[in-house]
Each structure stands twice: as structure tokens, then as C-alpha cells.
Amino acid sequence: MKLFFVLAAFAMAVSVVNGYSDDDAWKDYKKKHKLDYNIEDDGGKRDGLRKKIFLNNREKINKHNSHTKSYLRKLNQFAAMGTWEKKRYLGVNPSKAPKANFLKSIPVNLQSRQLPSSLDYRFDPCMPEIKDQGYCGSCWAFTTITPLEFSQCKLTDSPVVLSEQHLVDCDNTNGGCNGGWYTSAWDYLQSNSGAVKETLYPYNAKEAVCKFKTSMTGAQVASYDYVQSNNATAMQVALMEYGPLATALTVIESFFAYGAGVYDDLECDGQSVNHAVVIVGWGNQNGVDYWVGRNSWGTTWGTNGYFLIQRGVNKCGIENYPAYVAAAA
């Protein structure tokens, strides 16, 4: 990992030596992400504003990566966005979160089993491809669907892709692109004929009129529940027993630029959660325990859409609200 950071710093130094200017970096970034900020009669003001945001983020990323850190930041689709825009890529409604006393009262069944040193569902045949929620606060819907897809596949031994758009349009207990909560969505699915096949209800990152029909159903929710809060061992057991876990965490500016390594920013601790993700495994890197997290920001974010984050310390509140779901046979 140290070599990785050294090489990254070396690459940045070479780019400066070879005369790679800020203008070059901005042009290459726009080309890579297919961005065009030019507006007629604007005089380049909008492009200039975006360039300023980009260069500021680029400077922060380079500064972070020039020191030995546990995680690497990178330029991605968020590098030219303002804070107001990034908020649209979150979407957890913390008012729906259960109370701490309730979470502490949940029984813990550790079954005296030997836990492996690592577990990683990223490459399991039942793990669907990474998806992208786009400019819609629907992370809660993606976090609802992924564990159900995995559970359904394990029952039938056949991969299934389910619809998040169905929840965005039809689940009135949640707020569509304005946020929601995964256990509320599981309750909705359990009470309303189940989840829909993606091919019959494709995602478009916008709220629309509900088009659900019972003939679209591709999976049913048999049961769901929370895992005891702030209990990493209980979460590991639940991961082995049920598969990927839904959870919430606090996203701050640095997380948007996450690239690789074990995320450990102190600034996210002790704040209200604002984003939903899925935990798909655990491990240890250079003596640091971590969770493997799955995001819904596409494959260009993080490490092919995934991230590592400190385990056992409730980093960014990620161990506050873990929950599992089981598909109906």
C-alpha cells in the first residue's frame, strides 16, 4: 500500500515536470466525464466556476495523497460539483431510524461459531453489478434492493436484478428522490406483493407515477430485522447467516473523493447519518480491521464502486443501524 502512494505521488510530480497545466487537467477531466459547461452569451462564467471547484478539489486530493495515509483519494464524477449538488447523491432519512434503546435490546445470537479472518461477497455469483443512483436521493432504495437480490439468488441459485425505481415511484412510506429508509421499504415490499424485476421497471433517477403490477414481481420479503447496534461481531455473524447487510453512515466531503484503502476520516464520527450503503464483507489490511462496503454511485467511484472502512469503531456511524433481509421461498 505504501508503494501505491509513492507511485501516485511520483506520477503527480512527473505531470508537473512535463508541463501538465491546470488547463490541461481541466480539459482532460471534462473529456473523460463528457462534461460541457459552455453556455451561449455566458462569457465562460459557468465553466470558470466549475474549473475553480475542480482545481480546489484537485489540490486537496493531491495534498492528501502526498502524505502516507490509510486511504487514497481520487478525481471522480464529484470533483467539479458543489456541495449543494453532492447532497442529491445521498438520501437517508434519519428521522426513520429506530431509537438507541431499541437497538441495544435486540438479542444477539453468536452461535459460538468460528469467524473467518475475512469474508468478501463482492465476487459471489449472487452479487449483482454495481448500480448508479444518479442525481436522485434514492440510496435507500438501492440499499433495500441489493441484500434482497442476493438472498433471492441464494434461494433459487439464479441471479436476479430487481427494481429500485419501483420503490422510488410507489413506496409512499418513503420519499422517493428526497430520501427514505431501508427497513421501511422492506416493510412496504412485504405488504405490497414484493419487489419488481428491473427489466419490467427500469431505473431513471426521477420520481414518476407508480406503474406497479403484480405480474412484475420478482422476489418477496419473508422477514427482516436489525442487528444489534455497535456490535461488530454480531454483524459478522449476520453477514454469514443472511448475506449482505443494509446500513447507514455519515458522508462528508472526503468520502466523495474516496479512491482506495481503508477510510478513516475522523470528521464523520458522531454526526447524523445521511447515506445508505450495503456491507458485503470484512477483512484486515496492514493491521487495520475493515468492512467492505458497496455504494450506489457507479463503478467509477471508489474501487469499482466499493470501499473499505474501519471496522469495530463505528466509523461514520456505520455500525449504528445494520439490518438484514431474507427472501421468501
Name the active-site residue from 139, 170, 177, 268. Answer: 139
Phi, psi at 33, each rounded to 5°? -100, 10
Q: Of 275, 310, 326, which is closest to residue 296 (Cα–Cα)?
A: 275
- The position carrying cell 433495500 is 144
Q: Are 169 and 130 in contact (CB under 8 A)?
A: no
Helix (H, G, I), strand (E, B) or coil at 167: helix
Is 295 one of the catalytic residues? yes
**Considering 93, 295, 316, 320, which one is annotated as catalytic?**
295
- Amino acid 263 reads Y
Quick one: cell of 51?
Answer: 474549473
Active-site pick, 64, 136, 268, 275:
275
Catalytic, 139? Answer yes
Assign residue 18 a region (left: φ > 0; alpha: ψ between -120 and 50; beta: otherwise). Answer: alpha
Is residue 121 within 8 Å of 97, Cβ to Cβ? no
Percentages helix, strand, coil for the chain (3-state, rounded to 5) are 40, 20, 45
Cell numbers 488547463 label which residue? 23
Residue 85 CA to residue 213 CA, distance in Å, equals 34
Please, what is the end-to-end C-alpha distance for the chain in angstroms?
44
What residues act catalytically?
139, 275, 295
